Structure 1
Amino acid sequence: MPGEYRLLTYADRDGPRAGICVADIVYDAAEVANNAHFNSVLSVLDNWNVLDESFAAFAAAGGRGLTGKPLANLTLLPPILYPGEIWAAGANYNDHISEMADETEYKAVNAKTISGGRAWHFAKTARSSVVGHESVNPLPDYSNMVDWEIELAVVIGKTASKVKAADAMDYVAGYTIANDLSARDHVVRPNIAADSPFRFDWLSHKGFDGACPIGPWITPARYVKDPHALDMKLWIDGALMQDSSTRHMIFSIGEQIEEISARATMHPGDVILTGTPSGVGFSRGIFLKAGQKLRLWIDRLGELRHSFS
């Protein structure tokens, strides 16, 4: 948008660099900040309050005084190369719960009526699962049922411990798009009793290499008036699969931050995947195949594209 900026990571000849994108021109973040330390998105997030104000002023002035590079000429990497933690909400959309069959492991996992009124999360691997915009990655060789899940991803910009929901949005730096890929045939281990704590296989199900495409950039929270009212869509090879809105969330972003930060301190660069709406493959009995191309779009945030080899 004119006068706004997006925070991203791009590939440079000397390695990954943090960039500020203004009107499809990318400026080096360290140059904009006039400080060589701010060459990564994580270093920017560690100083978010000050730098967000500075970058917003730079964008409002149209990026005057510096020379940038056309966005179209750059290779984008995941906006945060190595998030500290990735917290993912399970079954956090009313329309997604409605589409799941009663006998599945997913049905009403997180509905407020059976969750004790508390948000529920699992952790995804950060270094191995995160891949970026326009990436091409293999599907896991042990699964024949890899599913898609478009999610609003929340990026933390301030250390958060025991934060109340009413104050939680002050800890959000911005938002990006994620695909919480899921190996549905590895939700549980075979031949393990239903009441066994070893039954669920979260590593195989949610933590495989490439399981978290994310990007293309971070849209600062200052530019997103209401993150709980964003339309979201996912296409596979041009066919629309998911078409919903963040208004169907069960537990709000603030409630999720309160729940997580009550147990574990959150840090700048941590990411929350806030759940997926209806339209996943599991409910239709169809799953991803090598060669397919995905497009994920969320209002105000842009479009994430990735594919499978």
Structure 2
Amino acid sequence: MNGHYHLLSYDDEGRTRAGLLIDERVYPYGPQLGELLQLEMREQTVTDLIERWDSFGPLLREAAVRVATSKSPLPGLALDEVKLLAPLLPRTIYGAGANYYDHVAEMDRAFNMPPSPDPHTVSGAPWHFIKAPACSVVTGTGEQVTLPPYSRNVDWEAELAVVIGRPARNVGVEDALSYVAGYTVANDLSLRDVFVRDYIGVHSPFHFDWISQKCWEGSCPLGPWITPAEDIPDVQSLKIRLWRNGEVRQDSSTAEMIFSVAEQIAFLSSRVMLYPGDVILSGTPAGVGMPHKQFIEPGDEIEVWIERIGTLETMFRAADATRTDS
């Protein structure tokens, strides 16, 4: 047995618990799994596990194998009975800008601009921004996001999210993927109508407002779980799709990335130390709403799916809507 599993966070009577998803059942990380492994295992959060991934990664794989092969199955929880949370609250979120060839091409056309040069031939380096702390921006699958009252142009961006599992500093491209614990799904929501300060010239460094566009509350849906990196044979050949109210809007592949996941990790680690629990949003493909002037409205449901990982679902409500959180 190969021991395939997904690592998730769920709500256990107000507590955040880590669990392994195996064949549509959730097995809490803790004493019961420990008995199966004949080890002492106390409750942990996913963040705890990621921060010591070198130790916990092999242990989780062994636990998944034991669950799958045990003659006395553990009494796991049915997935549809579990309230999933964001799989982790990242230490730092790095977002890649303009990192899919098809997306850059569609934006060039939308703004009547000549084709952008391949960054590999101009700078040789990817481009990133940093989002606000996860406790402010991250939401889990199935949650509602309140649309900001100061924006009418909220756009979707399906993204592969990369979860760092080991401290990384000045790593080479050839070794970069060995620093990844796993992958999850993100929707890097963007406000297209507050991105610039119109009263400041386009050539000014103060023309852009990244906080308003990228760092508002609820702007980073993340989930539904983390798929271990070793279960992704080729991270640069994953299908990625987004639906708005059941209509496909983005349909592409991570093969369209300009800078690969490994290149992004190598570049970022040349500037800062990447820590376990950091997350890199690796860019979005063509199909965002901006070129067609179509944006998220109250009542919309957005689904983002990435091959081998899963589907992230988000609902949206107006800023003045009565809260209906369960």
2:41 to 25, 35, 43: 35
**Mapped partners of 1:266, 1:191: distance in 2:** 37
Deviations 1:216-273 (A, max 9, x none): 0000011100010001110011111000000000001111011111111111110000
Q: State yes or no: 1:92 paired with 2:99.
A: yes
Retained in 1: the 8 A contact 2:185–2:224?
yes
Question: 8 Å contact 2:105–2:116 — kept in the other structure?
Answer: no
Q: Which amino acid aligns with 1:58?
A: A
By how many angstroms is 1:68 displaced? 1.8
Shift of the 123–94 alpha-carbon distance from structure 1 to 2, 3 Å rule, reads same
What is the TM-score when the length of structure 2 is the normalising length? 0.89
SS at the partner of 2:98? coil
**Structure 1 residue 62 displacement after superposition:** 2.8
1:123 maps to: 130
1:107 & 1:217 partners in 2: Cα distance?
A: 39
1:43–1:124 distance in 2 versus 1, CA, 3 Å: same
Change in 2 beyond 3 A, CA 1:118/1:45: same
CA distance in structure 1 between the aligned counterparts of 2:315 and 2:257, rounded to whole angstroms? 27
- SS of residue in 2 equivalent to 1:18: strand
Cα drift, residue 23 of structure 1: 1.0
Report the 3-state secondary structure (helix = DSSP H, G, I; strand = E; otherwise coil) of the residue aligned with 1:185.
Answer: coil
**1:133 alignment counterpart:** 141
How much does 1:39 deviate?
A: 1.3
The correspondence of residues 259-298 of structure 1 with structure 2, limited to 5 A, is 259-298=267-306
Give 2:160's aligned amino acid.
L
For 1:207 and 1:234, locate their aligned partners in 2 and report how far apart those are by CA, in whole Å. Answer: 21
| Contact 1:26-1:68 within 8 A present in 2 as well | yes
Question: Could you say which residue in structure 2 is the equivalent of 1:17?
Answer: 17
Residue 106 (structure 1) shift? 9.8
Match of 1:212 among 220, 227, 241: 220
TM-score, normalised to structure 1's length? 0.94
Q: Which amino acid aligns with 2:16?
A: P
For residues 214 and 105 of structure 1, the distance between their equivalents in structure 2, rounded to whole angstroms, comes to: 33
| Consecutive unaligned residues in structure 2, runs of 5 or more | 35-39, 318-326
Assess if the C-alpha contact under 8 Å between 2:84 and 2:224 holds in 1: yes
Instruction: Specify the alignment match of 1:156 in structure 2.
Output: 164
The residue number in structure 1 matching 2:321 is: none
Matched, 1:306 2:314: yes
- Give secondary structure in 1 for the equivalent of 2:67: coil
- Relative to structure 1, the CA distance from residue 186 to residue 111 in structure 2 (aligned partners, 3 Å threshold; closer, same or farther) is farther
RMSD (Å), alpha carbons: 2.0
Residue by residue over 1:71-97, the C-alpha shift from the partner in whole angstroms, topping out at 9 and shown as x without a partner, is: 1100000000x2100001001000001
Task: Point out the more displaced range, 170-179 or 185-194.
Answer: 185-194
Amino acid at match of 2:66: A
% identity of equivalent residues: 43
* Cα distance in 1 for residues equivalent to 2:301 and 2:186: 15
- Evaluate the alpha carbon distance shift between residue 169 and residue 216 of structure 1 in structure 2; reply closer, same or farther with a 3 A threshold: same
| Equivalent residue, structure 2, for 1:72 | 80
Structure 2 SS opposite 1:61:
helix
Judging changes above 3 Å, is the alpha-carbon distance between structure 1 residues 114 and 181 closer, same or farther for their aligned structure 2 residues?
A: farther
- State the match for 1:4 in structure 2: 4
User: Deviations along 1:85-135, whole A, 9 cap, x unmatched?
Assistant: 000100100000111135749987784157511011001122211000000
Contact 1:88–1:272, Cα closer than 8 Å, also in 2: yes
